[in-house]
Structure 1
Amino acid sequence: MPKVIYQQPDGAERVVEAGAGASVMQTAVRNGVPGILGQCGGVLSCATCHVFLAEENADDFTAVSEDEDEMLDCAATDREDNSRLSCQLVLAPGQEVRVTVPETQL
């Protein structure tokens, strides 16, 4: 079973078990993780699921698509090199992923 570690801006962490094939965003929304809204439901049209992906997980997912890249420019927090939309981070069996929620999304 995949596991996602959501780190809040204050350093608090919440560990959530997820289903394989679910996204980091879906998992957050289903479990009430603060700061990840996913208002569009994961169809790349809102950027309310922006997260900073931990460096150790950078190669665990497909590269940023052109559509995701454009939406990251609309995020409430300035993007960084490790910015991703969590709706595009689909979890594999046994995977452990760490993300940080931007402060401006809280």
Structure 2
Amino acid sequence: MVSPNSQELFIQGLTRDGKTFRPSDWAERLAGVMSQFRPGGASPGSHLSYSPWCIPTTLNGTKCVVLHADLREHEPMAWDFVINFAKDNNLQIAEACLLPDAPPKA
């Protein structure tokens, strides 16, 4: 169950039984499909970058998609699509917060 107060969800490329989800580029594919959903809506060329609401990343060697709650507010059907993708594929979902990279040490 996803808390309605969560601001970010991590959909991890691990099934609930701990197996790595395939294909290996699943996160990039999913984020690519969601690229049109962005602040201000789709614009020419927006398919060439990921939406700030659905970002592929790797955490601790595991492919993930970071899903931001703004997508739920602006495009509920798109939010449901991503959540149902995770559920249908038995992927682990974690409520979390993506922190910015630490500044380089001088």
TM-score, normalization by structure 1: 0.31
Q: Which has the higher helix share?
A: 2
* Higher Rg of the two aligned structures: 2
TM-score, normalization by structure 2: 0.31
